[in-house]
Amino acid sequence: MNWLAIDLGAESGRAMLGSLVKGKLALEELHRFPNTPVRLPTGLYWDTLRLFHEIRHSLTICGRQRKLPLEGIGVDTWGVDFALLGADGALVDNPRHYRDPRNHGMLDRLTAVVTRQEIFRQTGIQFLDLNSLCQWYAMKQAGAPALSCATTLLFMPDLFAYWLTGVARAERTIASTSQFYNPVSKTWSRPLLDALGLRAAILPEIVEPGTVLGPLLDEVRESAGFALPVTVFATAGHDTASAVAAVPADGADWCYISSGTWSLLGAEIAGPVLGPEAMESNFTNEVGAGGRIRFLKNIAGLWLLQECRRAWLLEGREYSYDELAALAAAAPPSRARIDPNAFTSPGAMPSQIARYCRNTGQDCPSDPAGLCRLILDSLAASYAEHIDRLESLLGRPIRSVHIVGGGSRNRLLNQLTADFSRRTVIAGPTEATAAGNILVQAIGAGHVSGLAEARAIVSRSFPLESFSPR
């Protein structure tokens, strides 16, 4: 059985073919493409139509080039960003990037109307300017014309699924990132939206991960070269939810780090944690596969390294990520420390880090090797701090840390995380998001019984590496 995962990250997208045979999952990358935001005089946008073009090209590779029959297709993306559709089903504005400067300072304006305590009580979501709630409120404050003619709000994976099927729904895991979803009532937080003057009527029906949305539209199917109908699933649409579904763990004494552009550090629990300690620690309650809650902390992860690499490239120095990892491994431990979440704006990251060090009375490395080591040491120290805090908030021990996603290839960061946290680290699978996307589809189709079986399949299918604290 073949399944297709469309996995869109903040830096790149790819189409991953998954073959589920005799209880093991094999993955193959069919197509990879950049996801490059576009800066216009009016703001920072996603190149949404280009992304959909790449999705359709991925389908053509399956149907016309490889002639592969597909059991299903699922799309996952980063969280919080959304599109607005008009009555005719067309975009009324191009979706903005969560780092769009229009969002800066919006959290303070929003919480002047509804208190932080009330927002957290209703949503359980951490406070960030990039949250969907802040973005929507920023549009209202700016008098954005798109709001007046919008009839439907769709999060990014839901938008692409809509373009594939014509069915507009909100998948629950991606909806839960918005800060206007209530994890207790499991509905939209309409009282919060009413208080802010935001029209809840444009929000679609919420569906579970694994829900069948429908077949590919005839035009899409025929263009891609599929002779038979192909089912599109609302998989775990938030990429972190898909990644966590593929964490090869059992029991309750573990936490995860979904390591990539962002580092999402948390635990899987039965219900939301909405107390004042969780709010003050800025932890968040997002929905996962199987009805679980992903209680986690957002940490600005390897984006810092990506931005440094981009800055050095502009200066004529090109490094691969493997080269940067090797430089960091050869450098001595850094004496300085940075707060990864203090860096929210793209551009000139080495200069931003140097300025932070000066302002905090620290010596900043001036060479790429030292800067890379500073970033990795600081990330590991931040992980350790938040694992201890997570353990305290949950009132239960955490003995192991599962690192999944592209960042799990960074063996130095894995070892440093074990060292700083004093816990065993299990790294892998690298392709957790694609694996989780496909396995949630398979659960929805009835070929996999549930989350426990999906994780057992992952354990059998992919190599894992263990790191002990030194």
Active-site residue, selected from the candidate residues 239, 250, 363, 388:
239
Nearest to 389 by CA among 295, 258, 259: 295
Q: Within 13 A of 250's CA, how many CA atoms are on the CB side?
A: 9
Q: Is the peptide bond before 34 cis (omega within 30 degrees of 0)?
A: no
Residues 287 and 183 sit within 8 Å (Cβ to Cβ): yes
Quick check: is 239 catalytic? yes
Given a contact cutoff of 8 angstroms between Cβ atoms, the answer to whether 400 and 427 are in contact is no
What are the C-alpha distances in Å from 342 to residues 158, 301, 382, 453? 31, 12, 12, 39
- CB contact at 8 A, 76 and 7: yes
* Whole-angstrom distance, CA of residue 290 vs CA of residue 442: 13
Q: Which residues contact 64 (CB under 8 A, 6 or more apart)?
A: 224, 225
Please give the structure tokens belonging to residue 440.
Answer: 């949630």
Owner of token pair 């798109």: 146
Residue 27 and residue 299: Cα distance in Å, rounded?
28
The residues near 241 (Cβ < 8 Å, ≥ 6 apart) are: 76, 173, 174, 209, 286, 287, 288, 289, 294, 436
Report d(CA 412, CA 425) in Å as an integer.
12
Catalytic residue numbers?
A: 239
